[in-house]
Structure 1
Amino acid sequence: MTGIFKQKTSSNIVLLLVYGLVLKFNCFLHPAGPIQQPEDHFLYNWLIEWLKPLHIPGVLYVLITFLLLYGQALLFNRICNDQKLLPRPNYLPAMAHMLTTSLFVEWNYFSAPLLANTFLIWTFYRMTTLPTIQKPAAAILGIGIQMGIVTLLYKPAVVFVLLVLLALFIMRPFRLREWAINVLGITMPYYFLALVLYLGNKWDWNKIKPVFNIGLPAIPSSVYTTISITLLIVPFIIGGYYVQANLNKMYIHVRKSWSLLLLYLIMAMLIIMADGGNNYISWMLCSVPITAFHAAAYYYINSRRLPMIIHWILFGYAIYLNYWLI
């Protein structure tokens, strides 16, 4: 399977759809509605309140979730190919995304982190293009607005504001005007929200400020959770080793993109501590950078058998997890 997705052919788009359905089809047989948590912010809570009177069946939420995950996989794959994160274009990042998001059952249901992930992938793409933009003001403002929307979907995602500022520091020469534009973009969704609440006589500061608790993540209470975490970490370490080994062969902007992915992962890990819950829904925000390093592991390993073995171990476990443990 890794050999097939290592090729850049249009048929892989259809194959990826089938691949994802095989992994996640049992979710359609046991559908669940949207997941709500105390950390969800105003936009997500408003969306759920708006959808509740429609009495949408659970299977439709599962379908929307699957299409979002499939779209995320294709979008992130295109970013990896456009930015040349791997030497040759392929569909390994898309395959890895569909596979890694199957290692936790919670990641296959409609939630605020799922929606935030979609915006974050697009935001990451715009951050990687900053060095090549001649007039970056509009792009920087757009990045800020997208990040503001992300924080209004999920409170702990305010940590990613730091990622945007670090991206400006890494990708662009320091210009105070650009930083001010970015901060303006981040706060702009809050201005509009405050205006709507005020004019609707529903003003409440608690609806806007992103308050959340900080604490250590819960110790895995299940052996299956421990296995899932292990299967995320081991290919990530292998991929990280090969990325580091090939760093000198990469263009400067590619090195910066990999550095940005690593910072992305660090910010997402901070969110794990800011979640405060006992579930693993917020861990989904780690999936995108981990996906990239998994794809690097499948691509760079010289042996033909080892990537296949790693893939089929993850695939077999994901099938067992999603079909026999739900």
Structure 2
Amino acid sequence: MISLFRKYNPVNTAWLVLVVILLRLVYIAKAPDKLDFIFVETFTRSLVPVAYENAFSPVINILLAALLVYGQALLVNYVANFYNLLGRPSFLPALMFVVASSIFTPFLILSPPLICNFLVIWMIFKMLALYKADNANALGYDLGMLVAVGSLIYLPFIYFMVLVWIAFIIFRPFNIREWLSTILGYITIFFFLAVYYYMTDRIDSFFNIWLPLGTKLPTSIVIKQYTYVLLIPVAVFFFLSFTKISALYYKSYIHSRKGLILMVLIFLIAGLSFYVKAEFRLSHFLLCALPTAIFFAYYFLYAKWKWFYETLFLLFVAGIIFFQFNNF
């Protein structure tokens, strides 16, 4: 399987469909009777004047989520190859994104983080473009707007504004106008939201939108024990990936190195922003799927022992499917 996706062959788009279906087939067969879909935050719910929460049956919900993941995987693959993040073209970023987006069953259904992953991909494309941009004011404005749109869908996305500023530090010499353009882009979206609140006589509640940002970090996270088991191979993959990256890091182009640093920061910021939501949902960590896919793809692209990495990958996929069979 890995050897197949190491090649940059358009036929792999068809094989990718089979992988997406395989990783969801069991969950489709054992789908619960009801799956709620919350598309936006409560403070923007009135902007969507239709009842959509129960519009899809569980099977349709899972299939639509699979379609979105497939589209995102192709976009991730395009970005990784366009900016040469891995050193040579392949379809491994797409494969790894599909796998990373299927690790836990909450990842397999429609959710705000899944929708926001389109914005994450778009933002990464723009942030990587900062390196060679003559003037980044427009890019900064666009990035600020994307963070704002993501915040309307899923409030923890607001912390991606920090990521935008860090990207400017990584890729650009300091320019105050470029930094201010990101803030202006963010304010633009929320200005129109404030106008909407004012027109509907709810301007007082507009300022309560950001109250969850003051939530204290939880002292513990309660998740099912079997979930920890799936984290073991994930940790192994991360260890192997960073070992391979550290060995080849200084042999890469400067832009590729900066891009890998950006992926690490995306993973950390996306992962740590979970505490903003009062009700913890495992689906939040879908925001970490893109950098995870890049890290895993890096290892599998340069791994030497075919029998080892092929066996490791197949065991991981088998583990994902196994835990879909068993809820313990």
- Calculate the TM-score normalised by the size of structure 2: 0.91
* Residue identity matched to 1:19: V
Contact 2:2 2:300 in 1 (8 A): yes
State the 1:220 CA deviation: 5.0
The equivalent residue for 2:147 is 147
Contact 2:212 2:277 in 1 (8 A): no
In 2, distance between residues paired with 1:301 and 1:107?
28
Of residues 310-319 and 223-232 in structure 1, the stretch that sits farther from structure 2 once superposed is 223-232
Query: What secondary structure sits across from 2:279 in the alignment?
Result: coil
Q: Kindly tell me: are residues 198 and 274 of structure 1, through their superposed partners in 2, closer, same or farther at Cα, counting changes over 3 Å?
A: closer
State the 1:324 CA deviation: 4.0
The answer for unaligned runs of 5 or more in structure 2 is: none
Q: 1:223 aligns with which of 222, 225, 236?
A: 225
Q: 2:247 aligns with which of 245, 248, 258?
A: 245
State the 1:276 CA deviation: 4.5
Paired residue total:
324
State the 1:218 CA deviation: 3.8
State the 1:207 CA deviation: 5.9
In 1, distance between residues paired with 2:54 and 2:233?
39
The answer for unaligned runs of 5 or more in structure 1 is: none
State the 1:41 CA deviation: 5.1
The equivalent residue for 1:205 is 206
* Residue identity matched to 2:231: I
Matched, 1:23 2:37: no
The equivalent residue for 1:136 is 136
Matched, 1:93 2:85: no
The equivalent residue for 2:267 is 265
- Calculate the TM-score normalised by the size of structure 1: 0.91
State the 1:157 CA deviation: 1.9
Q: Kindly tell me: are residues 104 and 217 of structure 1, through their superposed partners in 2, closer, same or farther at Cα, counting changes over 3 Å?
A: farther
Contact 1:27 1:322 in 2 (8 A): yes
State the 1:257 CA deviation: 0.4
In 2, distance between residues paired with 1:289 and 1:275?
22
Runs (4 or more) in structure 1 with deviation over 4 Å come to 46-49
State the 1:199 CA deviation: 1.8
* Residue identity matched to 1:284: L
The equivalent residue for 1:311 is 313
Of residues 286-295 and 6-15 in structure 1, the stretch that sits farther from structure 2 once superposed is 286-295
Contact 1:236 1:294 in 2 (8 A): yes
* Residue identity matched to 2:251: K
Q: Kindly tell me: are residues 47 and 323 of structure 1, through their superposed partners in 2, closer, same or farther at Cα, counting changes over 3 Å?
A: farther
RMSD of aligned Cα (Å): 2.3
Matched, 1:68 2:68: yes
State the 1:8 CA deviation: 0.6
In 2, distance between residues paired with 1:96 and 1:267?
20
Contact 2:38 2:53 in 1 (8 A): no
The equivalent residue for 1:192 is 192
Q: Kindly tell me: are residues 277 and 230 of structure 1, through their superposed partners in 2, closer, same or farther at Cα, counting changes over 3 Å?
A: farther
The equivalent residue for 2:35 is 33
In 2, distance between residues paired with 1:286 and 1:241?
20
Contact 1:5 1:90 in 2 (8 A): yes
Q: Kindly tell me: are residues 313 and 214 of structure 1, through their superposed partners in 2, closer, same or farther at Cα, counting changes over 3 Å?
A: farther
State the 1:63 CA deviation: 2.3
Q: Kindly tell me: are residues 57 and 102 of structure 1, through their superposed partners in 2, closer, same or farther at Cα, counting changes over 3 Å?
A: same
Contact 1:214 1:276 in 2 (8 A): no
State the 1:134 CA deviation: 2.6
State the 1:113 CA deviation: 1.2
Residues 225-261 of structure 1, C-alpha deviations (whole Å, 9 max, x = no match): 1012222222012111111211111111111100101
Matched, 1:236 2:238: yes
